[in-house]
Chain A
Amino acid sequence: MKNPLDSISGTITAGLVITVVLWLIVDTMM
């Protein structure tokens, strides 16, 4: 599997996915 960090778009997408996942976790807990 290609490493998403090898491309700029993959890096930004990975960052956005982490943001959404963390937001969902915190929003559920608070």
Chain B
Amino acid sequence: MDLFSAAGYEFILRWIHFLSGITWIGLLYYFNFVQAPFMGEAEAGTKKDVTSKLAPRALWWFRWGAMFTVIAGLLIYFNRMHAAGMEPFFKSSYGVSITIGGIMGLIMWFNVWFIIWPNQKVIIAAAQSDGKGPAVGNRPRVAFLASRTNTMLSIPMLFFMAAASHMTWG
């Protein structure tokens, strides 16, 4: 396969999709499986440091990982749909599986950019200003539930994304 061909273009997009997807979901699992339980036990000073110094760095890679995963994924999706034709695409095993996985990925991307990050911005600002900043209210709970929702959705999302290339229906 020539890297500078239509197939090569799709391969490069898939490479970007994997790299950014691992960055995104790796950090999602870190937040849910490591950081959240740790914060439940940490001392007040440690919690403040994690929220004001560690979280902003982790969330930068997290949200931009999500962005590039979705951009590369959508470009592959429409490339495949264009090559196959709309109707045959949606009748194929690949088309059905990748559409279901993709919808989940889009919901997760929406949660990152429009629920988790806007709430975390306020939580971080409050921690960085020693409580003199904005009131956080129920923002930690909202961000936590959106993050847990994404962890839950990542399971069927990865199943259907992998099924698209490695499992045939019927």
Contacts and interface: CB of A to CB of B under 8 A. Distances in A.
Interface of A: 3, 5-6, 8, 11-12, 14-16, 18-19, 22-23, 26-27, 30
Contacts of B97: 26
| Interface class of chain A by DSSP | helix
Contact of B152 (A11, A23, A27): A11
Given A22-B160, A30-B170, A8 B32 contact: yes
Interface of B: 32-33, 37, 93, 96-97, 100, 145, 148-149, 151-156, 159-160, 169-170
Given A23-B159, A30-B96, A8 B152 contact: no
25 contacts: A5-B152, A6-B148, A8-B33, A11-B148, A11-B151, A12-B151, A12-B152, A12-B155, A15-B151, A15-B152, A15-B155, A16-B155, A18-B153, A18-B155, A18-B156, A19-B155, A19-B159, A22-B160, A26-B97, A26-B100, A27-B170, A30-B93, A30-B96, A30-B169, A30-B170
A1 to B, nearest CB: 15
Given A5-B145, A26-B169, A14 B152 contact: yes
A6 to B, nearest CB: 8
Given A5-B145, A22-B160, 15 more contacts: A3-B145, A5-B152, A8-B32, A8-B37, A12-B151, A12-B152, A15-B151, A15-B152, A15-B153, A15-B155, A18-B153, A18-B156, A19-B159, A30-B93, A30-B96
